[in-house]
Amino acid sequence: MNKISSAQRKKILKFAEEEYKNNDVNHDFRHAKLTARLALSLAKQEGADEDICEIAGLLHDVAHRISKKNHAAIGASKVKQFLKKIKVDAEIANRICCAMSHHNERSYKAHKGAKAKEEKVVFDADRLLALGPIGFCRDFTYCILYAKMQPYDAVLDGENYVLTRYKQLKTKSARRIGKKAQEVMEIFYKVFKSQYKNG
Ligand SMILES: [Fe+2]
Ligand SMILES: [Fe+2]
């Protein structure tokens, strides 16, 4: 299995920057880079392949603008073609696409086969950005900008979203990283709801 060269890395980064341009603000290039960074850090802690996790993390949402529901699978097939074009080793490309295509709860559950470490790591890197203060910001943004909700309703709506992500985490390292973020939001909702009720 050949490693990914630095020239190929540069092409992947350029491809990602271009592909993320028309995504919504919650699934933009910044989200991709944060996911890649977290995936790399989790890969180190979990003994997973670092290149595969980092690149799958970077590319996982490239097709989000095409289909919210099926973006994981659509993105993986788009990336597969691109990696073939730039001559990335077929086995590495396969593993990257596999990790990408199961990065959300629905596709992860639907995928009943053996779950590779890299799949768990990329899944968790993305989940860590859907819980805690960052997860709250993203959900709040979605509710205000796209669902046109009132601010208080948007905060309350996020409770179901933000607080349920922690229990979906697949790796010990992610649970350790996410613990504080989860606790902060549990307190946040407790205080917010008491103020809201008494206000
Ligand atoms: Fe996604
Ligand atoms: Fe994502």
Close Cβ partners of 126 (under 8 Å, ≥ 6 residues apart): 35, 57, 60, 61, 103, 104
> Looking at residue 194, what is its pLDDT?
92
- Taking a 5 Å cut-off on Cβ, the residues next to ion ligand 1 are 61
**What is the Å distance from ligand 2's center to 117 Cα?**
18
Q: How far apart (Å, rounded) are the C-alpha atoms in residues 41 and 54? A: 9
Q: What is the pLDDT of residue 12?
A: 98
| Torsion angle (degrees, nearest 10) of CA 90, 93, 95, 97 | -140
Q: Domains in the chain, ordered, with CATH? A: 1-117 (1.10.472.50), 130-199 (no CATH)
Q: Which residues of 101-138 are buried (b: 16+ CB within 10 A; e: fewer)?
A: bbbbeebbeeeeeeebbbbbbbbbbbbbbbbbeebbeb
Give residue 146 CA to ligand 2 midpoint distance, Å.
Answer: 17
Q: For residue 64, how far is its CA from the centre of ligand 1 (angstroms)?
A: 6
- Give the side-chain half-sphere CA count within 13 A for 80: 15
Ligand 2: centre distance to CA 58 (Å): 9
10 alpha carbon – ligand 2 mean position (Å) = 21
pLDDT at 166: 97
Say what the pLDDT of residue 1 is. Answer: 67
- For residue 127, give the ligand nearest its CA: 2
Please write the tens of the pLDDT for every residue from 69-126.
899 999 999 999 999 999 999 999 999 999 999 898 887 877 777 689 999 999 999 9
Angle at 41 between CA 117 and CA 110, to 5 degrees: 35
The answer to whether the beta carbons of residues 155 and 81 sit under 8 Å apart is no
- For residue 130, give the ligand nearest its CA: 2
Contact, 87 vs 4, CB < 8 A? no
Residues 6+ apart with CB under 8 A from 96: 52, 55, 56, 59, 79, 83, 88
Judge contact between 77 and 63, C-beta under 8 A: no
pLDDT > 70? residue 140: yes
Instruction: State the distance from the centre of ligand 2 to the C-alpha of 29, rounded, in angstroms.
Output: 10
How many A from CA of 72 to the centre of ligand 2? 9
Instruction: State yes or no: pLDDT of 18 exceeds 70.
Output: yes
- What is the reported pLDDT for 107? 79
Do the Cβ atoms of 129 and 34 come closer than 8 Å?
A: yes
For ligand 2, the distance from its centroid to the CA atom of residue 109, given in whole angstroms, is 17
Is the confidence at residue 144, as pLDDT, over 70?
A: yes
What spacing in Å lies between the alpha carbon of 100 and ligand 2's midpoint?
10
DSSP string, 73-95: HHHHHHHHHHHHHTT--HHHHHH
pLDDT exceeds 70 at position 198: no
Which ligand is nearest the CA of 71, by number?
1
Residue 159 CA, ligand 1 centroid: distance in Å: 20
CB-CB contact of 51 with 71 (8 Å): no
pLDDT digits (tens, 9 = 90+) for 20-40: 999 999 999 999 999 999 999
Q: What is the pLDDT of residues 146-189, one digit of tens each?
A: 999 999 999 998 998 999 999 999 999 999 999 999 999 999 99
The pLDDT of residue 199 is: 59
User: Looking at 4-13, 15-24, 106-115, which range is the least confident one?
Assistant: 106-115
